[in-house]
Structure 1
Amino acid sequence: MSPKSNPTVLFIHGLWMHPTTWDPWAQVFNAQGYSTMAPGWPGDASTVGETREHPEDIAGHGIDDVTDHYAKVIADLDEPPIVVGHSFGGLIAQKLLGQKLATAAIAIDPAQPKGVLKLPLVQLGSVFPVLSNPGNYRKAYSHNRKSFHKSFASAVSQDESDALFEQYAIPAPGRPLFEAALANFAPHSTAAVDFNARRGPLLMIGGGKDRTVPKASSDSSFKKYAKAPTINEYKVFGDRGHSLTIDHGWREIADYSLAWLDKQGMSPPQGKHESQS
């Protein structure tokens, strides 16, 4: 009998983040024996600087574009991966899990799917600069240091927020925000998730001080799984904001995710592990 292969973890970033945000996570998961990969969204360049220089390459991509992009990545793997996603990456992770393209998913501060009606004012305020201009649907939108701290890294100091902005922030397509905002008015919304599919386990993580995806939004998203016939768990870190995967407390979130996977019996066997670009 051939030895069991090491599980692959596919990391998916969200809006305004470069895939290198997952580098520290990949190191921790690799040390536990997982194989890891963190390919970017369509249009992401290899570096933050180059991606900032060419926002037109990112503009116009929507939720289905990005989901299909990762589905093609998965199709080249020997086995379906565990998918870990943040923000819109968390929504895409849920979509891939519902399509049975992943063995498990961890959705961290996930963007709301179709069917979630509760959108707190603080959340609307964080995306209003994009949604207030219909022309942004086909354009890329960039945060500045002030708006990044106000909405994305609001639970950390201005100094830490500025450092995170310089290290990781990139332009983001406006289209996914419009698709999510109009999801409940679209019969076949790209933000739809199959909540009741028979599939692998799901962990949803929320931040109690998140202003981009507030706890109330995460609560409502998780409630959509109330009748799901599969394992679904929800954890809220009360003092954390939307930057919880990249700020000084990221390791706590990563360690909780690893412990949850171990509880699901998905930890890798002893053996070689690797990181893929």
Structure 2
Amino acid sequence: MKGIPTKTIVFITGAFVSHSCWDKWKDYYERRGYKTVAPAWPYKDAPAEALRNSHPNTKIASIRLPALVNHYASIVKALPERPVLIGHSIGGLIVQLLLQQGLGAAGVAIHSVPPQGIFTFKLSFLKAGWGPLGFFTSTENTFLMSFKQWQYAFTNGMECEAQKEAYYQFAIPESKLIVRDTITRAARVNFENPHAPLLLTAGSADHTIPASLNYANYRKYRHSNSVTEYREFEGRNHFVLGQSTWETDATYILEWIEKQSG
């Protein structure tokens, strides 16, 4: 196997959270010799509290998936080498879409929103996603999770004080349109295309993106004749990047990256 000729990582943030959710991850990988960037989404390069105070935010409400993919594609193309792409949730979907364009040396999709055509009727998925889809409400306004919604969709299983701290540090308003775009052709992947090595990770306790959905996503790649791997972690919810177990996940991913480089 040809190794990954890069020591650069681009972290791609998901919906509803500040890009500062990657701060510990950036430090972890930088201490191990990697150069890292975790760019904000357009209109979101501000502290989480400031963004919450801006709700309803019409600029954030206008964000669409194709433009967001182009935003990250431009960042990746400007780098001196093809990076490893690590994304969470919608960021994991963007990783898959960028690999389709040949823009990453490898990709890691953490609790990824699946590409078009992969769906589940699991109750937790429908309950967590109904509010963000914003049906019967104006798409000109952003959606901001209530603390109760955050407890269910992101931080289930954590102690209440930890849930509150996570909400204060990271929760931000979101575009309803981008959530809807994930079930359209904007999120289409040709699973038979060859691609750079791809790891999909899942969490047994994730209400928003159940592990079964990530596994179905992984299975779709079985005819690509490319390296595609899957790992489910016990007890991880959708706030996986900030759970107390985050370093275990980061270590596993680092070892996977370096295995591809061997």
The equivalent residue for 1:190 is 186
Matched, 1:89 2:91: yes
For 1:142-181, list aligned pairs within 5 A: 142-181=144-183
Deviations 1:55-110 (A, max 9, x none): 32311211111100001111211111110000000000110011101110000000
AA matched with 2:46: S
Contact 2:58–2:140 (Cα < 8 Å) also in 1: no
Matched residue of 2:163: which SS? helix
Deviations 1:163-200 (A, max 9, x none): 1111111111111221224x3xxxxx101123222221
Q: CA deviation at 1:132?
A: 4.9
Matched residue of 1:140: which SS? coil
Contact 2:6–2:82 (Cα < 8 Å) also in 1: no
Contact 1:136–1:175 (Cα < 8 Å) also in 2: no
AA matched with 2:146: N
The equivalent residue for 2:47 is 47
Matched residue of 2:36: which SS? strand
The equivalent residue for 1:129 is 131
AA matched with 1:25: W
Matched, 1:232 2:234: no
Deviations 1:104-135 (A, max 9, x none): 00000000211213342210111112335243
Q: CA deviation at 1:153?
A: 0.8
Once residues 74 and 170 of structure 1 are traced to their aligned partners in structure 2, the CA distance between those partners, rounded to angstroms, is: 25
For 1:38-117, list aligned pairs within 5 A: 38-54=38-54, 55-117=57-119
Contact 2:5–2:261 (Cα < 8 Å) also in 1: no
Once residues 138 and 232 of structure 1 are traced to their aligned partners in structure 2, the CA distance between those partners, rounded to angstroms, is: 38
Once residues 239 and 154 of structure 2 are traced to their aligned partners in structure 1, the CA distance between those partners, rounded to angstroms, is: 6
- What is the TM-score normalised by the length of structure 2? 0.93
The equivalent residue for 2:19 is 19
Which deviates further from its counterpart, 4-13 or 157-166?
4-13
For 1:207-218, list aligned pairs within 5 A: 207-218=203-214
The equivalent residue for 1:275 is none
| Equivalenced residues, count | 257
Contact 1:118–1:220 (Cα < 8 Å) also in 2: no
Matched residue of 2:235: which SS? coil
For structure 1, which runs of at least 5 residues remain unmatched after alignment?
A: 184-188, 267-277
Contact 1:61–1:176 (Cα < 8 Å) also in 2: yes
AA matched with 2:13: H
Runs of 4+ in 1 over 4 A off after TM superposition: none
Once residues 22 and 246 of structure 1 are traced to their aligned partners in structure 2, the CA distance between those partners, rounded to angstroms, is: 8
Deviations 1:202-250 (A, max 9, x none): 0000011100001121111111111111100000012111111112111
For structure 2, which runs of at least 5 residues remain unmatched after alignment?
A: none
The equivalent residue for 1:272 is none
Q: CA deviation at 1:261?
A: 0.6
Once residues 109 and 143 of structure 2 are traced to their aligned partners in structure 1, the CA distance between those partners, rounded to angstroms, is: 23
Give the root-mean-square deviation of aligned CA atoms: 1.7
Matched residue of 1:83: which SS? strand
AA matched with 1:36: T
AA matched with 1:27: D
Identity of aligned residues (%): 28
Q: CA deviation at 1:52?
A: 2.0
The equivalent residue for 1:271 is none
- What is the TM-score normalised by the length of structure 1? 0.88
